[in-house]
Chain A
Amino acid sequence: MMTRKTFCFYFVDRGAILLAMFALVLGSAFYCAAADTVQVQLDTREAKPRAVETLTERAIFRDYRFAWRNIAQALESNSLDALEGSFAGDASQWLRQTIVSQQHSGLSQRYTQQNHKLKAVFYAPEGDVMELHDTAEYQLEFMDGGKIIGDQHIVQHFVVLMTPGADHWVIRQLQAVRQF
């Protein structure tokens, strides 16, 4: 019987953990900053033609989650540094363009409460490229300076191409589509 290959992870930064401990100590209700949460569920069962190895699955899960954390940081702080390492090729290029454009226009975006249902649909015979479908759900705020000009709950479908780097997987293509 095939075992279900699903990972689930909640990323909470150190500040939020300390805040949580402080709140627990005080016995008061704790509010976890949504901005720090990136949840990813990965399903590799239907990847073809090559089955995804366990170590690869872990790496994809880890690197995709960090990539989205980095996207959120980069687009909120308008910092190119946050993109280092997680992206290559076309994905890296348009993300950088976005940030440079935001720097010029004084705009920014804030991604919060991220929830990604990630599904591997293609894994090349030689293991050198993987296509994934991500149904991402998050809260997105558009900001002009410090002012919020739009706040939307988004459900977005991404077609993702990832390739292996020296010690981690990088996103080469991250393209939102109307539907899969």
Chain B
Amino acid sequence: MRHVIPICEVLCFLGVTAPQEIRAPQEVVAGEEASIPTTGSGKATLYLFGPGVSDKRDVSLGDDIRLPGADLQNAGQYFAVVCSSACRSASFFVSAAKPSSLTFMAHPSRVPVAEGDAISGVAIPFDKYRNLVLSPETVSFRLSAGKSSIFSRSVPAADGIAWFRAASGKSAGTLQVTASLNDLEMLRAVQQVASEPCNLRITGERNAKGILVRTEPVHDCAGNPVPDGTIVTFTATADGEKSTVDAPIKQDIARAQIAASGLAVISAASGVVMGNELRLGVR
């Protein structure tokens, strides 16, 4: 790369001033000191441009220019321009230091059990200056419910990112999702909840207000109780009229009071699951 200040070039060519050369450091790690050797003699001005820094100061040609680590904390490309009668420039790269933190995103926060590719996580390592660490690092992902591990995989980060996708476990409850890199460990929690209700069954009885219907404890097909708040829809057909009541499950059971006096046929559904049909005669 080249930079030009024509007037200076002309003066240098005519021997009016002594040209200087600067050599960029080969490899610099974020936060570490570096130096730029110069040739020539006399005073000059150093300009340093880089991510997070724009500095101007006097330097002596022929000496090494010291760049403090505080000026080189952000990874990226830096440009040093040294000007006396003419300007010379050089560029160098600062790379990230070793990982010191891990950004970890796990999804979703709530997931039905036994669902394929339902849980995913992305881990991104950063150094202590919050530079993205692009050197090859291996991140270990682990999913565990209680003391039992349901998934474990080591993933080499590609371009600074490691990720996984996994099926949810079979039991409802808290799933711990861990990403670790060397001595760094990040923990996330995913709540596993019952899947769709299975074998929805209802019972009912007449009372003074009509018909009280309720479900038996509602579970998914793996036996996990369906979470409170899940809606069960009761539909009653009596005297040619149809009425519908939505009732949330509370402590495994959904209840509804239906106003119907004659012969009533009652059914229940939750999501895509239909329950049994109940026929209640006239009181």
Contact = CB atoms under 8 A, between A and B. Distances in A.
Contact of A126 (B107, B134, B158, B161): B107
B55 interface: yes
Interface residues of B, number: 43
A131 B55 contact: no
Interface in B100-139: 105, 107-108, 120, 122, 124, 126, 130-132, 134
Contact of B51 (A49, A98, A125, A150): A98
B124 A150 contact: no
Contacts of B159: 121-122, 131, 133, 159, 180
Contacts of A2: none
A129 B105 contact: yes
B81 interface: yes
A97 B52 contact: yes
B77 interface: yes
A119 to B, nearest CB: 11
B248 interface: no
A153 B107 contact: no
Contacts of B74: 94, 97
A137 to B, nearest CB: 12
B194 interface: no
B3 to A, nearest CB: 4
B24 to A, nearest CB: 12
Contacts of B51: 94-95, 97-98, 175-176
A149 interface: yes
B3 A105 contact: no
Interface string A55-81: 000000000000000000000000000
A129 B132 contact: no
A11 interface: no
B47 A97 contact: no
Interface in A139-180: 142, 144, 148-154, 156, 159, 161, 173, 175-178, 180
Contacts of A129: 105, 122, 124, 161
Interface string B48-92: 011111111000000000000000001111010101000101000
A125 B120 CA distance: 7
A177 B93 contact: yes
A23 interface: no
A94 to B, nearest CB: 4
Contacts of A142: 3, 47, 49, 79, 81, 89
Given A159-B132, A176-B93, A102 B54 contact: yes
A149 B5 contact: yes
A90 interface: yes
Given A125-B107, A150-B89, A177-B93, A101 B54 contact: yes
A81 B83 CA distance: 31
27 contacts: A49-B165, A94-B52, A95-B51, A98-B54, A101-B54, A107-B49, A109-B49, A109-B54, A121-B159, A124-B163, A125-B163, A126-B107, A128-B105, A128-B107, A131-B159, A131-B160, A131-B161, A133-B159, A149-B47, A150-B3, A150-B5, A152-B3, A153-B1, A159-B132, A159-B134, A159-B160, A175-B134
Interface of A: 49, 89-90, 93-95, 97-98, 101-102, 105-107, 109, 121-122, 124-126, 128-129, 131, 133, 142, 144, 148-154, 156, 159, 161, 173, 175-178, 180
Given A90-B130, A152-B1, 20 more contacts: A49-B165, A93-B52, A97-B51, A98-B50, A98-B54, A105-B55, A107-B47, A109-B49, A109-B54, A121-B159, A122-B159, A124-B122, A149-B3, A149-B47, A149-B83, A152-B79, A161-B124, A175-B132, A176-B93, A177-B76
